[in-house]
Structure 1
């Protein structure tokens, strides 16, 4: 709870003024405090705070930091924007929000500076319904962000910009949820840039959920330049160890609700009684329970490791640990090779990921959605960029298992 900045002595220089501060997201952003009203600051709603005003700023908005604690955390490479007299920030922002500039080399060059490495913290903002889905077995998929790029967005009002669902207006406005996990491999993610996922950019409003896909690689925003990612082929990704489900409150507090433990194959409750009211609006969830999904054997994707010539289910704990999935510590051998295995198929000429099979029917997710494919499959949009349909199993062709090899160093 702030104002611990007064105790730590951390001070940050922003716009030429030194403020007491608190580190956010391992140094990707800072919460600044002031005893007086300052332009851009908001009332600090925390009771008993010594500072009446506060605001969150990204690390790239800070010119100096004094009193910071040493950290082993490696900061992500920031988004690099070449500003000059001819082309300022507002010009770049306009380019990032204009689909006609999806092929502009300046836009593409800027976008590619925000790169994912093994161990990058990724985040996906969730509705209450989506949070319930992850507790019951969903895997990371679809649109997401590097935590580094959105660390300054800490309140439900600010984070609502990143929602992918159609539940806005039905959820409690005083809380928003998120899934955070570490990237196991950079090849698990794509940039929706230019011709990559071109069909999403041309999707009419009546066939999509959430804001449009601009094709510039940036999320639609009137204020920010935020690089966005999608999982490769819009596929599910295996949950790594220590993924977390989070809640954010109006004062910018981040609350860890659950942590994923792969050996137990479930979400362990981390939140204390004082925060359980944050789960009151989540459908079909009891705040005092832990959750172990019952369909682990039917996952659409999993990690497969090889150890001494044998194949085992594996678990990732990025950036450096990839091991055999085992209950006993002695059996958690480091794997010698690793791959992500998923099922793919074609239906009516459209490439899809196979999610599950039930009673002669197959649940499919389109890998490269476009209007023609959506019409051919009768697919429905369930969240931004995600189109799924049920297909008769007998009509499925080219049903295959695909192993995507990770390079272990």
Structure 2
């Protein structure tokens, strides 16, 4: 039986040995000499001394073993003599660009059920995730950032604008439905685009739907109403090192509401800067129940649910025999008004509510006395007695009910 032919890809006029990254969203190229853009290969005993990560759309051809076709749709740009890729990048970096062509190109990057999403984290946010912080605000499709593997490349996506240093962290989860995400444009979030520098942290929101970046074209998303999203099963907390290595630090066990440690002692130094007393040897981090959660119906009754997209939606139960498929599923989020501003409620503590404006602008954050906690996200503590019209809102997700719900 013949051995499969190793994968080789054509990039910038030259063929390289390669491996797929993120299910075909990017490629890891190998070389025996240090070429432009290549870094030392950190793998012990590696056949090739140097490597580089490139996006799948930058590869002109691939041969060898069966190549995966990414499930996500790339940006689509019409052929034009007047607008090349460099011109498109320049247009994407213009404040609140109103080009119909740019909007059409941006709309070609869409979220579907099962899309792997990513949010780049600061060390403080990594620790907050382990203690119950949920994804919200600005995020990205893994497909669009799979080739960004070093802190220098990923640091631009951090929400605090700080120097990423030698390691950058990220949260990865899978989308349940496209309605949980919107494009941060001048039309959908004018208040964020016009926010004065004194009232924001991190890079400005351009309003074109693309992240501010000097080399890359990265479509941005924000969670709908800037609300929290419940964690999906098997979400991951990751670290990226200066040599481009991806390390899975923790994996989320949805039935146990727990983050479980995946990293070994060789990666201990990655977490040295998280906090002075970070419990690095702790195997499990129990996550307290969140205000925002998945709920589902089974035989006409409502229960907490677990989402494991694209196909698995079930009752939240530690016993495997009780994990029946739900008949319907929704994201339950608490909305309220405080001082005339519509907000989501993200925490409830001893008569105080932590509220987050759904569409912040300079007037709203001044009225609430809200603070910018990360790029585009503002929060304030409100006395529960002053908050009005608080109610739970269920965002229903359509399900394929072709399966049997339970025994």
Question: Does the 8 Å contact 2:345/2:353 carry over to 1?
Answer: yes
Question: Can you give the 5+ residue segments of structure 1 that lack an aligned partner in the other structure?
Answer: 1-6
Alignment of 1:375-386 (within 5 A): 375-386=366-377
Question: Does the 8 Å contact 1:314/1:325 carry over to 2?
Answer: yes
Corresponding residue to 2:118 among 117, 120, 123: 123
Does the C-alpha gap of structure 1 residues 278 and 40 become closer, same or farther in structure 2, counting only changes over 3 Å? closer
CA distance in 2, matches of 1:107, 1:16: 29
Question: Does the 8 Å contact 1:129/1:282 carry over to 2?
Answer: yes
2:244 is the counterpart of 1:252: yes
Does the C-alpha gap of structure 1 residues 210 and 8 become closer, same or farther in structure 2, counting only changes over 3 Å? farther
CA distance in 2, matches of 1:334, 1:276: 39
2:270 match: secondary structure? helix
Does the C-alpha gap of structure 1 residues 82 and 294 become closer, same or farther in structure 2, counting only changes over 3 Å? closer
CA distance in 2, matches of 1:83, 1:382: 41
Question: Does the 8 Å contact 1:266/1:290 carry over to 2?
Answer: no
Does the C-alpha gap of structure 1 residues 180 and 382 become closer, same or farther in structure 2, counting only changes over 3 Å? same
Corresponding residue to 1:243 among 232, 235, 242: 235
CA distance in 1, matches of 2:73, 2:65: 19
Corresponding residue to 2:300 among 305, 309, 312: 309
CA distance in 2, matches of 1:100, 1:355: 29
Question: Can you give the 5+ residue segments of structure 2 that lack an aligned partner in the other structure?
Answer: 401-407
Match of 1:159 in 2: 154
2:168 is the counterpart of 1:176: yes
CA distance in 2, matches of 1:265, 1:75: 29
1:225 match: secondary structure? coil
Match of 1:98 in 2: 94
2:207 is the counterpart of 1:215: yes
CA distance in 1, matches of 2:269, 2:38: 28
Corresponding residue to 1:293 among 261, 286, 294: 286
Moved over 6 A (4+): none
TM-score with structure 1 setting the length: 0.93
Alignment of 1:11-22 (within 5 A): 11-22=8-19
CA distance in 1, matches of 2:158, 2:167: 13
Question: Does the 8 Å contact 1:83/1:89 carry over to 2?
Answer: no
CA distance in 1, matches of 2:83, 2:189: 28
Please list the CA deviations of residues 356-394 of structure 1 after superposition, one character each: whole Å capped at 9, or x if unmatched.
222322110111010000110010001001100011222
Alignment of 1:10-409 (within 5 A): 10-46=7-43, 48-69=45-66, 74-101=70-97, 103-165=98-160, 168-169=162-163, 173-283=165-275, 284-293=277-286, 295-296=288-289, 299-409=290-400
RMSD value over aligned CA atoms?
1.7
CA distance in 1, matches of 2:352, 2:152: 40
Does the C-alpha gap of structure 1 residues 396 and 363 become closer, same or farther in structure 2, counting only changes over 3 Å? same
Please list the CA deviations of residues 266-315 of structure 1 after superposition, one character each: whole Å capped at 9, or x if unmatched.
0011112222322222224222213333531xx12011100111111000
**Superposition deviation, residue 53 in structure 1:** 2.9
